[in-house]
Amino acid sequence: MDYLIKAMAFDDHARIYFVSCKDALNTIGDRLSYYPSALAAVGRVMSTTLMMGAMLKLEETVTVKVEGNGPIGLILAEADAHGNVRTYCSNPHCHFEYGELNKLNVKATVGDSGFINVIKDLKLKEPFIGMTPIINGELAEDFAYYFNVSEQVPSVVSLGVLVDTDGRCLTSGGFIIQLLPNTPDEIIDEIENKMKSFPTMSDLLTSDLNGEDIIKMISKDARILETMDVNFKCKCSKERFENGLITLGKKELTEILEVDKTAHTVCHFCGNEYDFTEDDLKALIERCTK
């Protein structure tokens, strides 16, 4: 079962978020036939977005867009404060490894330049929008840079995805450590020194340790504040696709009707398919205002 943990640590001078989201990642991987390194890249973005969602309140939501110069194209993930997430990428059918190391090459998949955009719907008049450049491409360092520069919250980000030879995810997750204002220098030094020799996220996730164990490894005095389930949850419906088709306008819909007679649509997030018959298209054309 996928889950997310929120905790306070280091004498309450830091927040720790931990997530394990293998099942949610396999849901999209299975439905849309993701290749291994594409699945790993999307998994890292999914983990981070889920933890960003956990930083929100009530009905607030966050959308993360990673737009690098790699072949995967756009990676987009959406999450809320309750552990619900959905994500997709422009090209799930790309795969790269690091030479003979048999290690997935996320950097070659995402690219080493581009931008990370974060849009937070805080239920105010205007959303919060933050943007920073991609500085590495492996994503953990890139998201740490985002937090430090765009939100001015000193943060450590660790992410890991392990994909089996059959293309399915074995483990996916990560943690974020965020310092609160006025954290003493000795605690900052303690965290920095600990992270220098801390195991990789993939090693931690393949061990017998659970999320709470890993948080306690980070800080012995950690206090668990909340544990929540994580779920892949898509918002697609035939009605949403109807509205999307209507935005094409009467002229383009009429051309589709005359040439193809029907329309076949597929959700990029979950792979659900919605078909529109000739009568459906005629009804949509009647609803068009222009």
What is the CATH topology of the domain spanning 3-232? Hsp33 domain (3.55.30)
Strand, coil or helix: what is 240?
helix
Give pLDDT, residue 101.
Answer: 65
pLDDT of 116 > 80? The answer is yes
Largest CA distance in the chain: 71
- pLDDT given at position 188: 95
The residue-averaged pLDDT of 25-52 equals 96
Q: How large is the C-alpha radius of gyration of the chain?
A: 21
The pTM (predicted TM-score) of the whole model is 0.92
Distances in Å between the Cα of 221 and the Cα atoms of 141, 156, 172, 212, 218 are: 26, 18, 25, 12, 9
Q: How confident is the model at residue 202 (pLDDT cuts 50, 70, 90)?
A: confident
Is residue 174 within 8 Å of residue 159, measured between CB atoms? yes
- Whether 210 has a pLDDT exceeding 80, the answer reads yes
CA distances (Å), 76 to each of 119, 179, 192, in order?
11, 27, 30
What was the pLDDT predicted at 290?
65
Question: 288 pLDDT band (50/70/90 cuts)?
Answer: confident
Quote the Cα angle for 86-87-90, to 5°: 155
Residue 100, pLDDT score: 64
Q: Please state, in angstroms and rounded to a whole number, the distance separating the CA atoms of residues 159 and 77.
A: 15
pLDDT of the residue at 232: 96
* Three-class SS state of 99: helix
Nearest to 41 by CA among 91, 3, 2: 91
What local confidence, expressed as pLDDT, does residue 289 receive?
A: 76
Across the chain, mean pLDDT equals 94
* pLDDT at 125 (0 to 100): 86
Question: What residues does CATH 3.90.1280.10 cover in the chain?
Answer: 238-287
pLDDT for res 120: 96
Topology annotation, domain 238-287 = CBS domain Like (3.90.1280)
* Segments of the chain assigned to CATH 3.55.30.10: 3-232
